[in-house]
Amino acid sequence: MIRINSIENDISTLYYQRYKRVSSFILNNYQHNVYNEFDIERMIGTDMDRIDAMRAFVAVVTEGSFSKAAITMQLSPQLVSKYVAKLEEELHTRLLNRTTRKVSLTEAGSQYFTHAQQILLSIDEMASQLGGLQQHPKGVLRISAPVSFALKHMAKLITDFQERYPSVTVDLQLSDRKVDIVEEGFDIALRIGQLQSSSLIAKQIAPIRVVLCASPEYLKAHGTPKQLEDLESHRYLHYSYMNVETKGQIYKYLKIKQFKERSVFHSNNGDVLVEAAIAGGGLILQPTFIASEALSTGKLVVVLPEYEPSPLGLYAVYAHRKLLPHKVRCFIDFMNNYYGTPPYWDENI
C-alpha cells in the first residue's frame, strides 16, 4: 500500500497504462460475461500496486465517502480522490456522482463496482490463504445465524470447527432479522433466501428446499389439494418473515391467501409452525431443514410436489475487507460441503 508521505511518487504513467487494460476489460465485457477470473488475474499480474486505484474506488463506495475510505485505507483523502479521478479519466466515464453531502454510483460505476469487488476478493483470498499457511487462526469469531437453522444444524458444526481450530472462540448470536454486519460487529452472518445485490460478499453453503406440507390427519379431514386453486379452501400457517415476492406459482397463491384471511396463524418461528401443522393446524410452507424429521417419519406429507418452488440458498455473508481475517476464511472453508450434497437433512425425504 502507498503511504501518505509518498504522494509525490503516486500514480505513475506506467501504473495506469497497466491498470487501464484491466479496468477497460471489465467494463467492456460486463454485458456479455465473456471473461473469467483467470483472464483477469493474468492481466493484473503479481504487482499489487496495480490495483490500488481499484481498491480506492471500492472503498469509497463501501464506506460512503472519500474521507472514510481514506481512514480505512490509511491514505490521505486527497490521494484517494486522485486515484478515483484518474481511474475515471482512464476509463473515459464517470463512476461516481459527487455532491457536498454524499457520493453515489453512476450506472457504469455500479457495473464496475460489482466486478471490481469480485476481483479484489479473489486476490485477497489468495493472499490470505498463502499468508495463513504458517498461521493458526485465533481470536473471537462473531457469527449471526437464523434461529431454527442454528438450533438444529449448527451445534455440531461449531464443535467440529473448534476441534480443528481450538484457538478460535465462537460467539454465535441467533436472530431471524437481517443484522447489519458492520454496525453490529459480526464477522459472518448466515442468511437463507434469494439474496439481493449488495456491497456484501455472499458464498452459498447449501441449497435449501422449501415444501408445502400438512399432517395426514388434517388432509383426511379437509381433503388433499390436487391443484393450486384448491388451496383457497385450506387453512394456511404463515411464517412472518417469508418473502412472498419470491418467484414461484405457489408463493403467488399463498400471498393472495395471506391478504384474504385475517384469522390465520402467523409466527416468526418455523419450528412452532411445523409443530402446529403436525397437530393438524393446516398447511405450511417450510424449509426441509426444519420439517425433514416430520416428513421422514410420516407426521407430515408433501402437498402439490409438482409445484415445489426452486430451492433457496444458505449463504455465508461477510463484509469485503482488504485482507479477510484468517479465522473467517477458515470458518467459510470449513462450512463448504460440510452439510453434504444434497444436505443430509434431505437424504430421507
The per-residue pLDDT for range 254-265, each reduced to its tens digit, is: 766 664 554 478
Domains of the chain in start order, with CATH, are 4-131 (1.10.10.10), 139-207+312-346 (3.40.190.10), 210-307 (3.40.190.10)
- Measured between alpha carbons, how far is residue 47 from residues 99, 112, 207, 244, 270 in Å? 34, 21, 38, 47, 50
State the chain's mean pLDDT as an integer.
82
CA dist., res. 341 & res. 63, Å (int): 37
- pTM of the model as a whole: 0.61
Residue tagged 391478504 (cell numbers): 259
The per-residue pLDDT for range 194-205, each reduced to its tens digit, is: 877 667 889 999
The per-residue pLDDT for range 148-161, each reduced to its tens digit, is: 999 999 999 999 99
